[in-house]
A and B are shown apart, each in its own frame.
Chain A
Amino acid sequence: MKANAGTLTNFEVLDLLNSRGASNDTTRVIAPISTSEYTRLHVYDYLMETPACTQTQEIITNFSDQCKYFKLAKAEILNIINIRPSSTVNLAPILEEPSERGIDKKAKEGILKLVEALLPPPPIVEARGDNEEEETEEGEQS
């Protein structure tokens, strides 16, 4: 058994679920979902509210290639693709010990410019919960 035969971006999982008809799954409205369907459908719902739903394979490959210049770890590139940080403060928790690796303010700005240029903005998500407030774009307003 190989526990890790490769990491997948959120987009790749969403794409896979879409190709298996997750978006057309009307059966969950009509009939109770079996337990094996539960996770798959809820993963689909989750991913549709993340930047993954505006991405394509080409966008991700292109972004990963361009990131090489910044000497980021593979895990960090994956995390940036999934979260699509729009400001230095959103990027900060994703990078591990940036100053020790020579990733300075200029490099961070470079990474954010690349994100802005290559990764489409995330979907507009309304807040859920008890209160009436509505949330506007999760990305920064430019």
Chain B
Amino acid sequence: MFCLSEMEDTVRVPPDLLKLPLEVAIKKVLQKLLLNKVLSIGLCVTIYDIKSAEGGFVLPGDGPATYKVRFRIVVFRPFVGEVIAARFKESDSNGLRLTLGFFEDIYVPAPLIPRPNRCEPDPYNRSQMRWVWIFEEQEYIIDHSCQINFRVENISYPPVPTEQAEDAKPFAPMVITGTIDDDGLGPVSWWEGCSERNNEDDDT
């Protein structure tokens, strides 16, 4: 789910950081600019290294020193088809929302929840709907109780909205659509002790 991205950017190091070793100062500026942000390459996690820094010119009328920096950054960007371990966050009539802790915009829409299923008001949480998979007359509830494995179907980077209604959900710059409709996906408790039974079916 993580990869290295190599970037080049112009970095302005403010005068108060210039007393630090150059690499440390540049890293500090880059961290503030990039970390915890979603770029087109994914969610930035940490600066990996600085490959080169050129310049150091101070432009007229400007305090900071300007550097052209090549660096590598660790980003969270899963690949389509990747199976990822997540936790349940919430669910509604549209489907499930899962979380990794550091990333919470993972959605499993209703069509990607195994069928037959039903969606009903959650008896433990009146404001929520919960999903229940029905298989061989057994009911399998999807809730907080264990880790949920999903597979990445799609990653999108919605454009920043120019206007937002007051009660709209906070804007998510990166959205992962996942599926739990396959063997081995969904809550891990569904598959414990299952390997012998499924041996015959695993060539689908």
Contacts and interface: CB of A to CB of B under 8 A. Distances in A.
Nearest to A45: B101
Nearest to A137: B192
Nearest to A12: B2
A42 B102 contact: yes
Main secondary structure of the interface of B (DSSP, over half): mixed
Contact of A88 (B7, B35, B100, B199): B199
B41 interface: yes
Contacts of B34: 36
Interface string A31-50: 00001111110110110001
A59 interface: no
Interface string B81-103: 11111011000000000001110
Nearest to B189: A135
Interface in A86-142: 87-94, 96, 98-99, 104-105, 108, 125, 127-131, 133, 135, 138, 140
A72 interface: no
B6 A50 contact: no
B36 A5 contact: no
Contacts of A98: 203
A29 interface: no
Contact of A82 (B1, B4, B87, B147): B1
Contact of B2 (A8, A20, A83, A89): A8
B106 interface: no
A130 B87 CA distance: 13
Contacts of B59: none
B83 A128 contact: no
Contact of A87 (B1, B32, B124, B195): B195
Interface stretch (B44-52, B61-69, B110-118, B158-166): B44-52
Contacts of B44: 39
B151 interface: yes
Interface of B: 1-8, 31-32, 34-36, 40-41, 43-46, 48, 72, 74, 76, 79, 81-85, 87-88, 100-102, 124, 143-147, 149, 151, 182-185, 188-189, 191-195, 198-199, 202-203
Which 8 residue pairs of A and B lie closest in terms of their CB atoms, listed nearest first?
Answer: A129-B144, A42-B102, A87-B195, A36-B35, A2-B6, A5-B6, A92-B183, A5-B4
